[in-house]
Amino acid sequence: MTYVSHPNIAPGKVEERKYQISMAEMCLGCNTLVILPTGLGKTVVALHVIADLVDKGKALILAPTKPLVEQHCEFFSGMLPKKKVGSMNGLMRPDTRCSVIEANDVIISTPQAVANDLVSGKYDLSAFSLVIYDEAHRGVGNYAYVTVAEYCGPKIRCLGLTASPGSDIKKIEEVCNNLHLTRIEMRNDDDPDVSPYVHDTYINRIEVNMPKDLTDVVSLLKGLLDHYYRELVDLHLADPGWPMSTKHMLTVGSVLQKRLAKGEKTAIIYRGLTVQAICVKLLHALNLAETQGMSALRLYMTKLNDEAGPAGTKGGKEIVGKKEYKEAWTIVNNTKVEHPKVSRVMSLVSQIINSGEGNKVMVFTQYRDTCELLVSKMSAIPGAKVAKLIGQSNGGLKQREQIDVLDDFRSGKYNVIVSTSVGEEGLDITSTNAVIFYEPVPSEIRTIQRRGRTGRKNDGEVFVLIAKGTMDEVFEESSKKKEQLMRSRLENLNETLNKRAGIKISKGQTHIGEY
């Protein structure tokens, strides 16, 4: 193995990969959005750029979470032994952050802290030669990356890093415009200079059949939803040509709120808001029934029942009083049936961790309630050492606790992690033998990030559980279509950006294949 030789990079630590060096060279020439699938070394590309520019000015690396900041700090401290590397976050006093910037060559921070300091005039970026935005696809709207970018002058080189910017071309272009990125530099697993470093990831689609109790509940909830949806259509508040979905109902709600704000306080508007709220609740209940199972649905319906009390909402009381809802609740409250995905996940995990010493598995699920259920169930599997990885909100894991879980997973204290979306983005989860999707997600960004948790150092497998005839199939298809759109649209946008910037580029450098 050949290692990178650079005066600012620790010798014998970074494997020399031509595609990383080539991408870094392009980044030195202009502000660039780097798109590289998870596990192929976006951070190493950033390291090359920092090593070349840090002697001209400080480098600022922005990362969306404190665990990711700490991860980067550890990496760059080890890779840049001749440079001082410091980290900061919003919990520090502004004066302390000023001291961190003054004392270090490379500063890694959460973005809001820097944005606040720049707005308040605590310091400026005149001493910096480079600003790096990790998970750059977040750079839209009023996210702090956008504020920081406003303070980057023309002498500062800007670099965005992401594994999956998404399929929405307007959003991708907004990211590039907001962060002053004039070029897209991307690679994929099939590129000739990348393929020697890629391990195979095998995708396994596993279908399960819904048990009768669940299908009965789904049928009752769908009948109730159809009733209320027809009412919205009859009130001319919903588009009958647009299939019923949460997105549709949120759009209806937004329109109704705007009409109300403009003074249209009529019986139709008020009834529409009540019915729209009921539809959103029923859609969520259906999603839980079809994709998660009885435990998650039982918890949600219990919450709905509580909301129907004396101080509850009009819509909450109405829905709980319906005959179909009462019948569904009777089944949910009395059945001992669980979703067939639960036993299938347990079987897969048992098979994987017991088929080889040191094997590790990561299970992703959309909902925290399902996460808790799976941790409880899988802890009974012989040989399974299970931990959960969840976000901070509502009594979850603090960021320090999240870091400890990941450290224990790397060390082998745990060999199974059940994670919500907090485990999808950015963090170096270490190599896993398999990733299990408890359900598909309708987001191409999240699908790519989940998949990237395996196949990093060895061949890996991905298992996607699909409940037949449910929203699982809809979400799976949606994600596939968005991935295909993302690739083609990125190619077109890159050509547009290069023409705008006067950059000539070969077709071979713009192609995106399979992620």
What the chain holds in terms of domains, given with CATH numbers, is 18-197 (3.40.50.300), 201-209+339-473 (3.40.50.300), 212-334 (1.20.1320.20)
What residue type is 266 in one-letter code?
T
Q: What is the mean pLDDT of residues 274-287?
A: 95
> Does position 454 have pLDDT exceeding 60, yes or no?
no
Dihedral of CA atoms 361, 365, 368, 374 in degrees, nearest 10, equals -50
> Does position 512 have pLDDT exceeding 50, yes or no?
no
CB 414 within 8 A of CB 385: yes
| Amino acid 506: pLDDT | 46
- Cα separation, 123 vs 115, whole angstroms: 10
DSSP summary character for residue 199: P
| Amino acid 492: pLDDT | 73
pLDDT tens by residue, 339-354: 999 999 999 999 999 9
- Burial level of 263, CB count in 10 A (0-12/13-18/19+)? exposed
- Cα separation, 68 vs 52, whole angstroms: 23
Handedness of CA 448, 452, 458, 459 (dihedral sign): negative
Q: What is the mean pLDDT of residues 446-455?
A: 54
| Amino acid 476: pLDDT | 83
| Amino acid 435: pLDDT | 86
| Amino acid 438: pLDDT | 93
What residue type is 164 in one-letter code?
S
pLDDT tens by residue, 497-507: 766 656 554 44
- Cα separation, 262 vs 457, whole angstroms: 58
Query: CB neighbours of 65 closer than 8 A, spacing ≥ 6?
Result: 110, 399, 426
| Amino acid 319: pLDDT | 94
> Could you tell me how many residues make up the chain?
515
| Amino acid 10: pLDDT | 96
Beta bridge partners of 133: 62, 160
- Cα separation, 138 vs 308, whole angstroms: 38
Q: What is the mean pLDDT of residues 264-278?
A: 95
How far does Cα 104 stand from its chain's mean position? Answer: 31
> Does position 450 have pLDDT exceeding 60, yes or no?
no
- Cα separation, 126 vs 107, whole angstroms: 14
> Does position 456 have pLDDT exceeding 50, yes or no?
no
CB 392 within 8 A of CB 322: no
Dihedral of CA atoms 231, 233, 234, 235 in degrees, nearest 10, equals 90
- Cα separation, 47 vs 45, whole angstroms: 5
- Cα separation, 369 vs 300, whole angstroms: 10
Q: What is the mean pLDDT of residues 311-338?
A: 93
Tell me the three state secondary structure of residue 376: helix
- Burial level of 278, CB count in 10 A (0-12/13-18/19+)? buried
CB 123 within 8 A of CB 95: no
| Amino acid 510: pLDDT | 38
Q: What is the DSSP string of 81-134?
A: TTS-EEEE-TTS-HHHHHHHHHH-SEEEE-HHHHHHHHHHTS--STTEEEEEEE
| Amino acid 487: pLDDT | 67
Q: What is the mean pLDDT of residues 133-161?
A: 96
| Amino acid 315: pLDDT | 87
Lowest-confidence region among 280-284, 293-297, 485-489: 485-489
Element (H, E) at 335: none
- Cα separation, 321 vs 110, whole angstroms: 48
With cut-offs at 50, 70 and 90, classify the pLDDT of residue 164. confident
- Cα separation, 493 vs 244, whole angstroms: 32
> Does position 388 have pLDDT exceeding 90, yes or no?
yes
| Amino acid 313: pLDDT | 83
pLDDT tens by residue, 180-223: 999 898 887 777 887 777 665 677 889 999 999 999 999 999 99
| Amino acid 374: pLDDT | 95
| Amino acid 513: pLDDT | 34
- Cα separation, 490 vs 186, whole angstroms: 9
Dihedral of CA atoms 291, 329, 221, 214 in degrees, nearest 10, equals 40
> Does position 265 have pLDDT exceeding 90, yes or no?
yes
Tell me the three state secondary structure of residue 192: coil
How far the first Cα of the chain sits from its last, in Å, is 25
What residue type is 92 in one-letter code?
M
Beta bridge partners of 435: 362, 462
With cut-offs at 50, 70 and 90, classify the pLDDT of residue 152. very high
| Amino acid 482: pLDDT | 73
| Amino acid 363: pLDDT | 94
| Amino acid 312: pLDDT | 80
pLDDT tens by residue, 7-62: 999 999 999 999 999 999 999 999 999 998 777 889 999 999 999 999 999 999 99
Give me the chain's average pLDDT, please. 88
* Nearest CA-CA partner of 337 in 216, 422, 191, 168: 216
Beta strand 386-389 with 416-419 is: parallel
CB 381 within 8 A of CB 349: yes
Tell me the three state secondary structure of residue 57: coil
Beta bridge partners of 58: 128
Q: What is the mean pLDDT of residues 392-401?
A: 83
With cut-offs at 50, 70 and 90, classify the pLDDT of residue 430. low
| Amino acid 514: pLDDT | 35
Residues above pLDDT 70, as percent of the chain: 88
Count CA within 13 A, CB hemisphere, residue 445. 16
Handedness of CA 386, 392, 395, 398 (dihedral sign): positive
Q: What is the 3-state secondary structure (H, E, C) of 255-267?
A: HHHHHHHCCCCCH
Lowest-confidence region among 100-114, 189-203, 317-331, 465-479: 189-203
